[in-house]
Amino acid sequence: MSIKDYTAHQLSIIIDSLSEEDLKKSLEVPPNREMGDLAFPCFILAKHLKQSPVQIAKELEGKLSSSDVFDRVEATGPYLNLFLPKRKLTEQVISEILVDGEQYGSVKASGHQIPIDLSSPNIAKPFSMGHLRSTVIGNAVANLAEKNGYKPIRINHLGDWGTQFGKLMTAYEKWGNEHAVRKSPIKELNALYVLFHEKAKEDPSLDDEGRAWFKKLEGGDSNATALWKWFREESLKEFEKIYELLDVSFDAYPGESFYNDKMQAIVDELNEKKLLVESDGAMVVDLEEFDMPPALIQKKDGASLYATRDLAAAKYRKSTYHFAESLYVVGHEQSLHFQQVKKVLLKLGYDWAEDMKHIPFGMILQDGKKMSTRKGKTVLLEEVLKQTIEQAKRNIEEKNPTLKAKEQVAEIIGVGAVIFNDLKQSRLNDVEFDIEQMLRFEGETGPYIQYTYARACTLLTKGSWGEMKETNPPYNIDEAYLWDLILTLEHFPSIVERAFHEYEPSILSRYLIVLARYFNQYYGKVRILSGTDEEQQARLHLVKSVTVVLKEGLRLLGIKAPEKM
């Protein structure tokens, strides 16, 4: 039972004109703590009771003052200010966390499936920093979905189809070297892709050759297919290294090519329902009724487009997973595209399209500018991760050179720093990355949260937590420093719920920063391993609760928590 649930239940005993749920929704947090922990606005009872809110607040104060369910109640104008029973609720919160462990804040499984389209890099191109956001935001949303009782299906919708592969094949046939490509596949293929665009500026006919190659690929040409399979296999090997570092896994890898044999059915269905119209030789679905440009379904040469493949993918996912929601973690520049796909599906009569949600996000910027693979201005994610891991290793050598498993801890810190730096930002904001800043042990960083967790683990070891007997320690100690920390711990389940329903991992990230700050303030003011055995045990119960929530919060973000740093 949350603190708001407790308060609403107690109020419902003396207020019968509102349900517990309505009472809970009406509760407010006063502007400062001296006015109480929660406040009930009596305006909402005035019409029913035919009394002024001020008079109602006074009467409620009288009824509650004689009970022991609150430490204190005060009528202040039209508000009833409530001071919660701190010891009772402190014991309740800590007990719930210690009993539930990592399940604290979890919702019972519903069985509903949620496919989540995330990461989706393009084959034959390096895994750049630009792909980081979809990967880590999508993974965090998937973890949060699971915590909220859903079954997430992580789908890596690889960019392994489209005209760009025709361009790459053109470049390989004209300027490629098989030995060089086999030695360093992604580097060489990316160089060829960049070269193609440089040459195409001088010779626009190259674009026609690229389209022709892709048309051959769509038609099953053996040479084109062999090249495409080679490019794809080499890319997946490189991508797997990144996913292993990020500790991200997938349930399915059906890239765009998977839907190649499923697109004609979409075209036929659109034709049957007379939704396809010709526009400058191409086939489109008119969306003027929605104030949108038409959705392109087929090019002049009959080649498919992103919309065709996404329509086929949406139908496949619905028939395969019978989803409650279908999520697409893709940059905000694709917002119009997803709106068009949804509207086409609705015009086809598929009401379930309303359950498809685009989760947009901003870009990662380099010196304030968008990164571009075409122009060769790519910051490789693998290189960034290696840099952060090396920097973390140097920090460990400087601050704790005797630490065991330094390599492993450095990797956890370095990778965690990159992930947290991304997820502490609202996903709609653009992110400028700064390796030195994200690895700091102070401030709003991943290492700060990890270090707080490690510090708490050290206290548990020194206090012999593993040997501790079950007791009912005195939770009324340290009250001056304890309450903010208890309230924050108690908020964790609602934070987890809100972060998922808003598809916003930064809600959880910001929460962890606040929790770490409150714990470090408590640590700075209270000698945890002092006093009587009972007092030490009470404090260590609290410390253990903090470690449970910090570790689980970081796990939901896709970050590991080392016990020593």
The answer to whether 276 touches 283, Cβ cutoff 8 Å, is: yes
The answer to whether 546 touches 526, Cβ cutoff 8 Å, is: no
List strand residue ranges (DSSP E) for 64-131, in order.
Answer: 72-76, 79-83, 113-117
Which of the two residues, 309 and 466, has the higher pLDDT score?
309
**Mean model confidence pLDDT for the chain:** 92
Q: Please write the tens of the pLDDT for every residue from 54-64.
A: 999 999 999 99
Hey, where are the domains in the chain? 3-84, 118-370, 381-557
User: What is the bridge-based pairing of β-strands 364-366 and 369-370?
Assistant: antiparallel
Q: Inform me whether the pLDDT recorded for 365 exceeds 90.
A: no
What CATH number has the domain spanning 118-370?
3.40.50.620
DSSP symbol at 372:
B
- Alpha carbon 125 to its chain centroid, in Å, reads 25
- Alpha carbon 532 to its chain centroid, in Å, reads 43
Q: Please write the tens of the pLDDT for every residue from 143-167.
A: 999 999 999 999 999 999 888 899 9
pLDDT of residue 127: 86
Query: Which fold is adopted by the domain 3-84?
Result: Gyrase A; domain 2 (3.30.1360)
Q: Inform me whether the pLDDT recorded for 213 exceeds 90.
A: yes
Share of the chain above pLDDT 90, in %: 78
**Lowest-confidence region among 175-179, 369-373, 507-511:** 369-373
Q: Inform me whether the pLDDT recorded for 41 exceeds 90.
A: yes
Which of the two residues, 250 and 215, has the higher pLDDT score?
250
Q: Inform me whether the pLDDT recorded for 346 exceeds 90.
A: yes
Among 120, 122, 121, 411, CA closest to 245: 411
Q: Please write the tens of the pLDDT for every residue from 538-550.
A: 999 999 999 999 9
d(CA 329, CA 346): 21
User: Helix, strand, or coil here: 254?
Assistant: coil
Domains 3-84 and 118-370 share a fold: no
Long-range pairs for 353-357: beta carbons < 8 A, 24 or more residues apart? 353/314, 355/323, 355/324, 355/325, 355/326, 356/314, 356/325, 356/326, 356/327, 356/328, 357/325, 357/326, 357/327, 357/328, 357/503
**What is the CATH architecture of 381-557?**
Orthogonal Bundle (1.10)
Which tokens is 252 given? 């399915």
Q: In terms of C-beta density within 10 A (0-12 exposed, 13-18 middle, 19 or more buried), how is residue 482 classed?
A: buried
pLDDT of residue 126: 83
